[in-house]
Amino acid sequence: MAQEKDLYFEDFTVGRRFESAGATLTESQILDFAWAWDPQPFHIDVPHSDEGPYGGLISSGFHTMCVAFRLIHATGYLASASMGSPGIDELRWKKPVRPGDTLRVVAEVTSQKPSSSKPDRGTALIDYSVLNQKDEEVMSYTCIHILAKRS
């Protein structure tokens, strides 16, 4: 997918959409992340995960979030304007992510507001939907982005 560059606050109009390329998660990637950061049995215990609550090995939700963040970063649409973020709202893990699933991210700007105290920037709320290869939503969240203005 082509990267969009040189976008600034003014370009993040309500309704504008962005979409990432896809990434396929392997069993090895799921296990490596889980052993390091989220070692719950359904993320690390392959032999017994079939008997667990999800009927097999699943990715940590935090791993899914990291993959989504990387996919969005790779689009380049935040590269010029991003000044950070004060947080994420409404994070929901909706379906398990399993080895072999291919994830992509669809983002839509839902609001935009110039800063009243810092004229060089504004904020935009962007809704993110993380989809698997079946177009099932596996995760969603809203991020508050602080974005530099062009001028």
Q: Mind listing the pLDDT tens digit for each residue in 23-66?
A: 999 999 999 999 999 998 888 888 888 888 999 999 999 999 99
> Degrees (nearest 5) of the Cα angle 119, 15, 110?
60
β 17-19/102-114 pair status:
antiparallel
Whole-model pTM over 0.85: yes
The rounded distance, in Å, linking the Cα atoms of 57 and 138 is 15
From residue 144, give the alpha-carbon distance in Å to each of 27, 42, 57, 60, 111: 32, 31, 32, 23, 10
Contact indicator for 105, 71 with CB cutoff of 8 Å: yes
pLDDT tens digits, one per residue of 74-129: 999 999 999 999 999 999 999 999 999 999 999 999 999 999 999 999 999 999 99
